[in-house]
Each structure stands twice: as structure tokens, then as C-alpha cells.
Amino acid sequence: MKPSILLLSLATSLPLAAWAQQTVTIVTSFPKELTAAYQQAFQKRNPGTKVEILNKATAAGVAYVRELRAGERPDVFWASAPDAFEVLAKDGLLTKYDPGIKGIPNKIGNYPINDPQGFYLGQALAGYGIMWNTRYLKANKLPEPREWADLTKAVYFSHVATSSPSRSGTTHLTMETILQGEGWAKGWEQILRIAGNSAAITERSFGVPDGVSNGQYGIGLVIDFLGLAPKNSGFPVEFVYPSVTAIVPANIGLINGAKNAELGRKFIHFSLSPEGQELLLDKAISRLPVLPETYKKAPADWPNPYTGKIRAKVNFDSDLAESRYYVVSSLFDQSITFRHKELMAAAKAIIDAEKKVAAKPNAQAAKQIAEAKALAFSPVVDEAKVKDQEFLKIFRDTKRSAETTKRMTALEEHWSNEAKSNYARAVALANEAAKIAN
């Protein structure tokens, strides 16, 4: 081997590590299109600086920051889910910063755009909604959905896709929005029925828009820009805000113990400046700016939450969301993500039985179907429990001693088994009902 190759590779590899000084490091769950646009614009604006992107799913991002020592942490946390920021702030991992940008309102609906305590700031606005592939719907002769409740209908069985709250911060928000809008029991019923209609529970929130865009799935639950960006990029998809939606800010915050806090502040300031806000209007990004004046530069059909056109019934309560963050995520995983096959089987059996009973009404069969539905579509943790502070504490203990790990695993195992047996009983009941009605 030529020594020159060795020298070359050493020469090129070593300085990389030494670059750290003029670098601002950003932990984000946002897609490449968005981060690349800000990276390039910021570097152009500030010659000699470098924007370093750590692309992580929100939950993994929180875990990552938590594990680093002060002084070694990245500078900026940038993600959709306000509850992730609540978690970070509570752990003392964020620090206050006011960029002093004028013109950003205090609230969107009833929701404060910036953290009232000042730990993090709204950088864009986001609503949650439904996207669908127009070709898929046409080919499968499906009506266009408008509301979450539409997705619980039998026609959509195996055509829907969603992600899971433990993997995607935005999915967590969507689920939490439904839970807050409909109440714990009714909300879970809706979620379980939608999940029962889902062909897949995807690994990251991107899995949903990606699958809908390329036609693997017909309909997906997504945060608005994940539906609008492919639409604006030419894919045959549509997006709608249902009435049970909340407009909440996607946030940006300065990490406490950052390596380069100064440049971190500069980046946050840039992201909120008119120039930074305008980047959101790029077709491949398609986000809603937080600065009202930026909407003047947007295309005519750009959704503007400040005009009240998006009906957002739910006033999102982030304290409530934060208090049960792990419970909702874990409950979703144990009863939906990991038991999806069984849940789908239950949904299918119920749909089939309902069809038969509709053709040939029978009181006994109808009663059994109702029972089956109650079994399959009720959460295994009731509302009283989720208000119990002692119970919530188990999940908020971040230290994870062997004892809490054991307790948590036992609980999760219990939920998982209960869900599984509920689904199995629902299938049995529904099959029986179908037999009676036959």
C-alpha cells in the first residue's frame, strides 16, 4: 500500500475532530429537507460557522441529551412535540433565551406560542390531521375522510397507517390531542378503532407520509407539513385538518450546558427572524410560520392558522400531556404496536359480524358484538388510574433503578397480556355473533 494513501486519509480524518469550535450543534427530529435548508442559509449568513445536525427521533433525542454531561451537550433542541420540551425543561436540560423578535403573538388559540417560563420558543405552527393518496382511494373506491371518527368506519379497514407515540413525538401529540378532545375512554376507543383499521404502525412518523405518498397505504395520521410537503412536491396526496385538532407550536430551545451556547442563540434567533421564517414556505418543507407577516409571502392556498380558518376545537393542555407522557406511549405500544396483529384480527372479526347482523338482525348477536367492541376498544388502563399520582410516578422516575425497571416491566407485561386476551375474546364473541346471524 502506498504511504501517500495513509497520509491522505490521516490528514483528512484528523481535522474533522478538531472543528468543534465554530460549530453549532442541533438535535432535531425534522426531515433532511428542512434541516438542510436552515443549515445552508445559516452558514451562508454567518461565514466561518458550521451547522451540525443530529437527526434523531424525538424520544431518542431526549435520551441522547440526558446522557451527556454539561459542557458536552449539543446547543439547540428543535422538534415538534412540546411535551418533549416539557420533559427536557423539567430535567433542567434547557436554559432560558429571549431572542426579542417582534410581531409573534403570545398565543395561538388558547395555547401559548412560547413557553411561559421562557425555556423554549415556538418556531413554527403545526396542526394534526389526515392525509390520503387520491389514486389509492379512487382505486379502492373509498370516500375521502374528514374527521378522526371517519377513520373508525369499516370501509377503511386495512387502509390506514399511523406511527406510535413512543417512536414519534408528533404521533404522541396527535394521540394526546384526540385523548384531550374526546376524553380518555372515548379517545382511546377512537384510537384503538383507528389502529384496528390500520395496515401498519410505522417505526417513525415519516413512515406514514412516505407510505401514503407512494401508495402503500391509503390514509395516514400525520402532522400537517408531513402531508403538505409531498402534496406540494407533486405526489397525488391531500391533507385535511379534522375539527378535533389542536394548533400547537413546533419548538426550538437552547440546551443547558451546551458546548457553544452563543452560536446556539444565534441560530435560534435566525430561525425566528423573517428570513428564517420564510424558509418554511419552501415546497419541500411546507410548514406554518409563527411570524404572522410571513404569510403575506405565502402562496394563496397556504393554511393560515391566524385567520381562524383551521377550526381547532381542542385547547391542548401540555401539562396534562407531560404528566402522562410515558403512560400514553407505553400503553399504546403494549396494546397496539406490539399487539397489532391481534387488534386487527379483532377489528376484522367485528366488522364481519356486523355485516352479517346488519343483513339479518338478531338481538343476541348484536349484544355479543357490543360486548366484543367493548373488549377490543377499551383501554386497559382506566381514567382514574391515569390521574393517580403514585401510579404516574413509576413512569416518571428517570433514574430507572432495578426496582422501578422491574415494576414497569411487570406493568407493561400485564397490559400486553390483558390486551391480547381482550382481543382474543373479542374475536371469539364476534365469531359467535356471526354464527348466530348466519
Residues 263-302 within binding reach of other proteins (CB under 8 A): 284
CB of 52 to other proteins, least distance (A): 5
What DSSP letter does each residue of 94-124 carry, written as one string?
EE------TT--SEETTEESS-TTSSEEEEE
Side-chain-side CA neighbours of 134 within 13 Å: the count stands at 10
Residues 29-48 that bind other proteins (CB under 8 A): 31-33, 35-36
Between 299 and 308, CB nearer to other proteins: 299
CB of 158 to other proteins, least distance (A): 9
Between 214 and 438, CB nearer to other proteins: 214
List 73, 172, 193, 204, residue binding other proteins (CB under 8 A): 204
Residues 101-140 that bind other proteins (CB under 8 A): 133, 135-136, 139
List 22, 110, 117, 233, residue binding other proteins (CB under 8 A): 233
List 70, 72, 262, 355, residue binding other proteins (CB under 8 A): 72
List 93, 160, 226, 288, residue binding other proteins (CB under 8 A): 226
Between 166 and 368, CB nearer to other proteins: 166
Between 20 and 70, CB nearer to other proteins: 20
List 4, 17, 100, 102, residue binding other proteins (CB under 8 A): 17
Q: For residue 379, which phi and psi values (nearest 5 degrees)?
A: -70, 145
Residues 352-371 that bind other proteins (CB under 8 A): none
> Parallel, antiparallel, or unpaired for β 219-223 and 160-163?
parallel
Cβ atoms < 10 Å from Cβ of 422: 23
Residues 158-177 that bind other proteins (CB under 8 A): 166-167
Cβ atoms < 10 Å from Cβ of 374: 13
Contact between 334 and 423 (Cβ < 8 Å): no
Residues 404-423 that bind other proteins (CB under 8 A): 405-406, 409-410, 412-413, 416-417, 420
Binding segment toward other proteins, per CB under 8 A, in 174-182, 198-206, 302-310, 373-381: 198-206
> Parallel, antiparallel, or unpaired for β 128-133 and 219-223?
antiparallel
**Which residues pair with residue 122 across a beta bridge?**
251
Question: Nearest CA to 178 among 245, 239, 80?
Answer: 245
> Grid coordinates standing for 212?
401514503
3-state secondary structure of 93: coil
Q: For residue 23, which phi and psi values (nearest 5 degrees)?
A: -115, 135
Between 67 and 319, CB nearer to other proteins: 67
Between 56 and 425, CB nearer to other proteins: 56
List 24, 57, 279, 349, residue binding other proteins (CB under 8 A): 57
Any contact of residue 203 with other proteins (CB under 8 A)?
yes
CB of 182 to other proteins, least distance (A): 28
CB of 63 to other proteins, least distance (A): 5
Contact between 330 and 409 (Cβ < 8 Å): no
Side-chain-side CA neighbours of 41 within 13 Å: the count stands at 22
Any contact of residue 397 with other proteins (CB under 8 A)?
no
Any contact of residue 5 with other proteins (CB under 8 A)?
yes
List 127, 145, 165, 207, residue binding other proteins (CB under 8 A): 207
Between 171 and 190, CB nearer to other proteins: 171
Binding segment toward other proteins, per CB under 8 A, in 107-115, 234-242, 380-388, 426-434: 234-242
3-state secondary structure of 233: coil
Residues 324-353 that bind other proteins (CB under 8 A): 338
Q: For residue 212, which phi and psi values (nearest 5 degrees)?
A: -70, -40
Between 54 and 288, CB nearer to other proteins: 54
Between 25 and 114, CB nearer to other proteins: 25
List 41, 52, 304, 320, residue binding other proteins (CB under 8 A): 52
Any contact of residue 67 with other proteins (CB under 8 A)?
yes
Contact between 173 and 248 (Cβ < 8 Å): yes
CB of 233 to other proteins, least distance (A): 4
CB of 175 to other proteins, least distance (A): 17
Question: Nearest CA to 80 among 210, 162, 169?
Answer: 169
Between 60 and 185, CB nearer to other proteins: 60
CA distances to 100, 158, 251, 344 from 372, rounded to whole Å, are: 56, 19, 42, 13
Element (H, E) at 268: helix 261-272
What DSSP letter does each residue of 121-180 carry, written as one string?
EEEEEE-EEEEEEHHHHHHTT-PPP-SGGGGGSGGGTTTEEEE-TTT-HHHHHHHHHHHH
